[in-house]
Chain A
Amino acid sequence: MLDVSSLTKRFGGLVAVNGASLTVNEGEIVSLIGPNGAGKTTLFATIAGFLKPNEGSVVLDGQDITGHKPHEICRRGMVRTFQVVKPFAGLSVRENIAVGAHTRIAGREEALEFAGKIAAHVGLTPLLDQSAGDLTVAGRKRIELARALATQPKLLLLDEVMAGLNATEILEIVEIIQQIRDSGVTILLIEHVMQAVMKLSDRAYVLNYGEIIAEGSPVEIAHDPKVVEAYLGHGASERMKSAGGADA
Chain B
Amino acid sequence: MSMLTTMSTGNMQRIGWAVLIGALLAAPFAIHSGRWMEFIELTLFAALLGQGWNILGGYGGQYSFGHALFFGTAAYLQALLQYKLGWSPWLTLWIAIGGSVAVAAFVGFLSFRYGLRGSYFALVTLAFAEAFHVLSRSLVSVTEGGRGVQLPLNQDPEQALATFQFTFAGPFLSEAGYYYTILIFLLIGFAVTGWLNHSRFGAQLQAVREDEDAASALGIDPFRVKMSAICLSAGVTSLAGIYYVQKFLFVDPGIAYGPGKSVEALFAAIIGGVGTVLGPLLGSAFIHIVGEFAKETIGAMLGDRPGVDLILFGIILVLMLAYMPRGLVGLVELLWRKLITKRGGGNA
Contacts and interface: CB of A to CB of B under 8 A. Distances in A.
Contact of B221 (A50, A71, A107): A71
Nearest to A102: B200
Q: How many residues of B sit at the interface, in one of the four size bands?
A: 20 to 34
A108 B207 contact: no
A151 interface: yes
Given A48-B217, A147-B218, A151-B219, A106 B200 contact: yes
B217 A99 contact: no
Q: How many residues of A sit at the interface, in one of the four size bands?
A: 20 to 34
A213 B213 CA distance: 30
A88 B213 CA distance: 11
B215 interface: yes
Contacts, number: 84
A111 B209 contact: no
Contact of A71 (B199, B206, B210, B216): B216
B217 A80 contact: yes
Interface string B219-233: 111100000000000
A71 B208 CA distance: 12
A2 to B, nearest CB: 16
A88 B200 contact: no
A99 B204 contact: yes
B214 A74 contact: no
Interface in A29-52: 48, 50
Contacts of A79: 217-219
Contacts of B207: 88, 91, 99
B30 to A, nearest CB: 37
Contact of A148 (B199, B203, B211, B218): B218
Interface of A: 48, 50, 69-71, 74-75, 79-82, 86-91, 95, 98-100, 102-103, 105-108, 111, 147-148, 150-151
Given A69-B216, A91-B210, A98-B203, 20 more contacts: A50-B213, A70-B216, A70-B217, A71-B221, A74-B217, A81-B217, A86-B211, A88-B210, A88-B215, A89-B210, A91-B207, A95-B206, A99-B215, A100-B218, A102-B220, A103-B218, A108-B200, A111-B203, A150-B218, A151-B218
Interface of B: 198-200, 203-204, 206-207, 209-211, 213-222, 275
- A-B pairs with lowest CB-CB distance, top 10: A103-B219, A88-B210, A74-B219, A86-B214, A70-B216, A99-B207, A86-B211, A71-B221, A100-B218, A102-B200
